[in-house]
Chain A
Amino acid sequence: MTLLDVENLHVYYGQIHALKGITLHVDPGEIVTLIGANGAGKSTTLKTISGLLRPREGRITLSGQDLAALPAHEVVAKGVVQVPEGRRIFGQLTVHENLSMGAYTRTERDGIDGDLERIFTLFPRLKERRAQVAGTLSGGEQQMLAIGRALMSQPKVLLLDEPSMGLAPVLVEQIFETITGINQLGTTVLLVEQNAYMALQIAQRGYVLQTGEIALSGSAKDLQANVEVRKAYLGG
């Protein structure tokens, strides 16, 4: 049974045809990655799923429920949350306030407090800095906060847009380990990455995007072995 289903998605920026019929699906418990060059439409796909962009054509469903017509804040309530590109934490808010904004759609106090503790065990650094203004965190800590903030909404599907961007190699490894960990705890992940090498190592399946179309799809192993993919995205 598919969890997130995207069918024949067409998105325009004014006159520019950015997505030309994207079809993809994510099954429960999977890590699926979307790889491709700059401007291929990876972020556009995520933004459309999140409800920030309106598709001109196509369907987006979560367990059969239509998402395409919902405004962004209702998509979150349905269980699809995004960690946006470039982290975009609320720099003037404290770490704790950032996390509580992640839980904005929820009302059960106990559940929220429990999740807060879980996130603090996942990222002990955030616990140390919970009262600190988030803008003063390092890049790696900000990425942890961005992921923690998204997890606070108890998502069924976590959308990650370039989580490794701008981070030191050590931190990149750490972030990918974290994503695997989160997935093992039961959250389904749709991961957009330019770092195709790392992404294909942790994902079960992948899609290759090229100028707004799915050029290739398959299991991560097959994609890693594919000559075209190796040449274009894995450096030989």
Chain B
Amino acid sequence: MSVEVKNAIKQFGAFTALDRVSLKVESGELVALLGPSGSGKTTLLRMIAGLEFPDNPQESQILFYGEDVTTIPASERKAGFAFQHYALFRHMSVFENIAFGLRVRPKTTRPPEKEIRARVEKLLRLIQMEPLGPRFPSQLSGGQRQRVALARALAVEPKVLLLDEPFGALDAKVRKDLRRWLRQLHDEIHVTTLFVTHDQEEALEVADRVAILRAGRIEQIGTPDEIYDRPASSFVYDFLGNVNLFSGRIKDDSVVIGETAFALTEKSGAEDTDAVAFVRPHDIRVTRSASGQSTLPARVVRCHAAGPLANLELERLDGGGWFTVQLSREQFHELQPRTGETVYVELKTVKVFAESLPINYSI
């Protein structure tokens, strides 16, 4: 266990940023803290860096490799931190920015000038910016600045690398490139890394494990597959997006959506409770005729088949709103749907969350 947070509480006035958060990160792991704004993810990261301190120091703990650092200030924690807006020292060159962490060390532990130069040059090679050492931060692009911020954090050989929205301020293409680069970099140097993001795609693509935060609590933590395939709550399902919501009612062993009843895989024992069924767009089958009993009638509103998958926008005939279906190209060509015609949909994998019940069901 390289980083462990136990039971941390943090409040800013009346706002609760962290509500008894506990988190364990294995050595060498790349973990994403994912959540909407205000969910406490940045506060958690700053707390690990030592820029914020928990409100309950008696009950809470922060451990680096088993060593209690709860009351140790940021300057002695040996964490590397890259800020959302980079926070590069604007009056220093790229080279001096990266060298800063080494130069401010006390004389006894400061490496000699020659070694500092060698280390900085090695880092400049690592971030692929070798010739740009003498430049100033103002003369760099956003992506370059972010890489310098990373190199500066890595220069002090941190026990933990903390990145606050590392790609937040960049445009889409640079973002994708840098994402891939970060993953490669992590595979090369294997430093335990936590990064904050509000972009689910980014978290699922880059991280070994993803922690989803909501209102100061960790809602679920797991590998990207686990999170995507088995969301622990309706919030996680909703937040990860790419999902259709069907509201209905649970009646004993079935869920009723519109006028159609779908059988549940287990008995709920509940009498008539509000419930929401979550269905991913690729877990829906579309047919021309109402073959089985459990099909919903819908009207085709729009179809677009650009790219490897075809998207259908459908409107429920029972007035329950719109939903999206994803078909492979073959399925799409087989079906040949036309705008305005009526089709019948079958829900293949469904997760039902009942608001008043502690248990969740699948169909």
Chains A and B come from one and the same complex: no
Q: Which residues of A contact B (CB under 8 A)?
A: none
Q: Which residues of B come within 8 Å of A, CB atoms?
A: none
